[in-house]
């Protein structure tokens, strides 16, 4: 039996920019795709005009993609991509549980740490769907570029390596290359922390602090990301790949990044409310920052840049004071 026979019908939970882009990829891979959207206007638009101009404007979608409003519409799917925002993933998967087809893997495509529980998305999914096989998809992948078939590569992590390869082969197209791994924590921890660091890089840009400072934040931020992820059980080599370093570099290097754009606005003197105004897509780092800070404190890992971002977002410290605090930290070994 070929992988295309194993996975015929893919269900995508969440029709934001990334969910829509992944639906596009799967349709181009020859799979039947049902895209679940809460917004009735998105369902109507995708089905009638093959567009999702609310979350992914200007992109013509494959006409084979079918949008549906209810999670029950995914009951026949033999592969599920869960792309609900991190803070809503538990509710989405809990609501989907009665409709989950036995044996259908769940691929987690959201990035973040759950507020309150301080759990990664794999733990959230395991609690919501205890019998499901979980995989993680993460890597440097702006939704608009993926949807337009510009080249991208990602990490597809699954403990069952044969299943991981089958999923990767099923969804791969020439311009979307999933590389397989078996380190789920590494694949998701990098994605969770990099969104917080992208806000920091945006602040650097907004304040006009220069390329040296920008490179420093990425590099020292990667050290924070690695320390925390390894403490949680990740493999360092996973973090040096697409889902760690690759995703960090992309998200911290372009205002296309929703998280970096928030930081850019904060660095230019706007309030958080002003920075978020008018955004229909979620900047995961805003919700993840306090959770990342709390998780790092819980496991005893130093993350000064993430701490500073969380404090700025919470209104505990002004941007200039946070920068001064980081610059006045004692000198130490880089290791």
Instruction: List the catalytic residues.
Output: 194
**Distance in angstroms (rounded) separating the CA atoms of residues 219 and 197:** 10
Half-sphere exposure of 5 (CA within 13 A, CB side): 2
C-alpha distance from residue 243 to each of 46, 110, 134, 153, 190 (Å) = 30, 12, 16, 9, 6
**Distance in angstroms (rounded) separating the CA atoms of residues 136 and 24:** 18
CA-wise closest residue to 187 among 117, 116, 127, 237: 237
Q: Which residues contact 59 (CB under 8 A, 6 or more apart)?
A: 20, 24, 51, 52, 144, 147, 148
Q: Which residues contact 40 (CB under 8 A, 6 or more apart)?
A: 69
Q: In this structure, what DSSP letter does residue 180 have? A: E
Burial class (CB in 10 A: 0-12, 13-18, 19+), 103: exposed
């Amino acid at each position: 039996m070929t992988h295309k026979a194993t996975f015929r019908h893919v269900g995508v939970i969440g029709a934001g920019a990334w969910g829509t882009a992944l639906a596009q990829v799967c349709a181009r891979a020859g799979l039947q795709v049902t895209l679940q959207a809460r917004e009735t206007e998105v369902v109507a638009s995708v089905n009638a005009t093959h567009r999702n101009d609310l979350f992914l404007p200007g992109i013509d979608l494959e006409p084979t993609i079918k949008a549906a409003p209810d999670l029950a519409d995914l009951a026949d799917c033999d592969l599920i991509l869960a792309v609900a925002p991190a803070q809503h993933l538990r509710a989405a998967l809990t609501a989907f549980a009665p409709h989950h087809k036995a044996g259908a893997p769940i691929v987690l495509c959201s990035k973040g740490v759950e507020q309150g529980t301080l759990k990664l998305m794999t733990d959230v999914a395991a609690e919501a769907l205890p019998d499901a096989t979980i995989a993680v998809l993460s890597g440097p992948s702006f939704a608009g570029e993926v949807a337009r078939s510009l080249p991208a590569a990602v990490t597809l992590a699954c403990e069952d390596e044969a299943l991981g390869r089958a999923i990767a082969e099923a969804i791969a197209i020439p311009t979307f290359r999933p590389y397989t791994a078996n380190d789920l924590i590494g694949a998701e921890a990098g994605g969770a922390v990099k969104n917080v660091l992208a806000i920091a890089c945006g602040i650097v840009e907004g304040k006009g602090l220069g390329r040296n400072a920008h490179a420093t934040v990425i590099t020292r931020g990667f050290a924070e990301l690695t320390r925390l992820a390894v403490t949680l059980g990740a493999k360092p080599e996973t973090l040096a790949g697409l889902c760690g370093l690759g995703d960090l570099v992309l998200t911290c290097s372009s205002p296309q990044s929703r998280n970096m754009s928030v930081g850019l606005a904060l660095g230019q003197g706007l309030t958080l409310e002003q920075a978020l105004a008018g955004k229909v897509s979620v900047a995961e780092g805003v919700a993840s920052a306090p959770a990342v800070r709390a998780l790092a404190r819980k496991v005893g890992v130093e993350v000064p840049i993430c701490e500073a971002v969380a404090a700025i977002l919470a209104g505990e410290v002004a941007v200039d004071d946070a920068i001064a605090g980081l610059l006045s930290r004692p000198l130490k070994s880089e290791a």
